Amino acid sequence: MDLLLILTYTAICFGIFKFFKIPLNKWSVPTAVLGGIILIGSLLLLMNYNHPYTERAQMVTVTLPIIPEVQGVVVEVTAKANKKLKKGDFLFRVDPTAYEAKVEAIKGEIESAQQNVEMLKARLASENADIAQAKAERDLALKDADRYRNGSRDKLKSPFTDQEVVRAQQTYLAAQAQWRSSLSKRDQTAAQLDAMINGENATVYRLKANLKEAEYFLAKTVVRAPSDGYATQLFLKPGMFVRPLPLRPVMVFVPDQKTSVYAVFRQNSALRLVAGDQAEVVFNGLPGSVVQGTVKQILPAIANSSYQAQGHLQGLSLDPKLDGIYAEIELKNVADVQRLPAGTMGQVAVYSGYFEHVSIIRKILLRMTSWMHYLYIDH
């Protein structure tokens, strides 16, 4: 930029010398040179500090890594690479055979569990009948035992032998044990039936929960677009085996988003970078065009200032030119950059409220930079 300004000043001086026919002597030439140094130097110093400029700017796009939630062999992949997709559109499919089989198996278990519930109900009714029968037999045995015991009190007149009395007592105790066993079985069956969750048998409820999980994973064998956007660099092919590993995405999805430009300014400009200031952006891919914008935010941290616990000592980053201040530029006329691919490089100038009359030089220089994008030589 300073070279362009010097060339411009030189051209103006040359024109003045020619037009006014000023002689080239030891007074005129040094005066023009000294005046140029003072003038250009003052303008550059004021302009550089109060209206920051950077050549390190880029159109930033946030991408979504596509990670499958199930593992298996890919059987189908979308053919719409780098084409507009709607939220929910098909991306790729994992072989669903194993997941379909699991769903069917759980459905069979649910049917079996529901039949077991009916069998438990029938068994409970049968055990209640067994309890009634055991109670009747116990009561009859108790009466016989009491009759034998009362009749044997008078040993001389007793019609029963001691062996018969003991046998009657043992018969009663056996009937009593049988009755208690029937009660225990009935209580166990009733407990199984009474194990309810939300009004449903616990086993059936658990299996239905497993079915929901199996159906969820079956549905996830078809991976769909998480939002409006497009899938790019589609290297996934049928026959590849995929796993739900966070560190190994299988596809990159670019969602629709507002176009933003991130620029890195030197640290000297920290006091002149304020959110809301006017900004202008020129892109290498749009020669001769200037895109208007505003400073949306100034990032509160410099990238190389972050440290993490590690097994070795950290050093300091001492290059303020490389470790600049990041600013997000929000573009106003986004239609101008629709044809540019994401990641396009550019240059940014920010105009602060200080020495606004000097900003015209920055604007001129920025537009000259934009026109210079037409000039390149590739061999």
| Number of C-beta neighbours around residue 50 at 10 A | 20
21 φψ region: left (φ > 0), alpha (ψ -120 to 50), beta (else): left
Q: Produce one character per residue of 105-119: b if its CB has 16 or more CB atoms within 10 Å, e if not.
A: ebeebbeebeeeeee
For CA atoms 13, 14, 18, 19, the dihedral sign is: negative
pLDDT computed for residue 321 by the predictor: 62
User: CA separation (Å) from 241 to 61, 214, 234?
Assistant: 29, 20, 15
pLDDT tens per residue across all 379 residues of the chain: 667 777 888 888 888 888 877 777 777 778 888 888 888 888 888 988 999 999 999 998 889 999 999 999 999 998 888 889 999 999 999 999 999 999 999 999 888 877 776 676 776 677 777 777 777 777 777 776 666 666 566 555 556 566 666 677 777 777 777 777 777 777 776 666 665 555 566 777 888 899 999 999 999 999 999 999 999 888 999 999 999 988 889 999 999 888 889 999 998 888 999 999 999 999 998 998 999 999 999 998 887 777 778 777 777 766 666 678 999 999 987 777 888 888 899 999 999 989 988 898 889 889 989 999 898 877 5
Q: What residues have CB less than 8 Å from 248, skipping those under 6 apart?
A: 67
Q: Kindly indicate whether the domain formed by 64-92+221-255 is annotated with CATH number 2.40.50.100.
A: yes
pLDDT computed for residue 154 by the predictor: 58
pLDDT computed for residue 317 by the predictor: 66
3-class SS of residue 265:
strand
- What residue ranges do the domains of the chain occupy? 1-50, 52-62+257-304+320-379, 64-92+221-255, 98-213
Place of tokens 């790729």: 92
pLDDT computed for residue 251 by the predictor: 92
Place of tokens 């140094």: 37
User: Half-sphere exposure of residue 82, counting CA atoms within 13 Å on the CB side?
Assistant: 5
Q: What residues have CB less than 8 Å from 172, skipping those under 6 apart?
A: 138, 141, 142, 144, 145
Helix (H) or strand (E) holding 278: strand 278-283
pLDDT computed for residue 51 by the predictor: 93
Extract the tokens encoding 61: 């796009």
Q: 328 with 260: CB under 8 angstroms?
A: yes
CATH class of 52-62+257-304+320-379: mainly beta
Give me the count of residues in the chain: 379
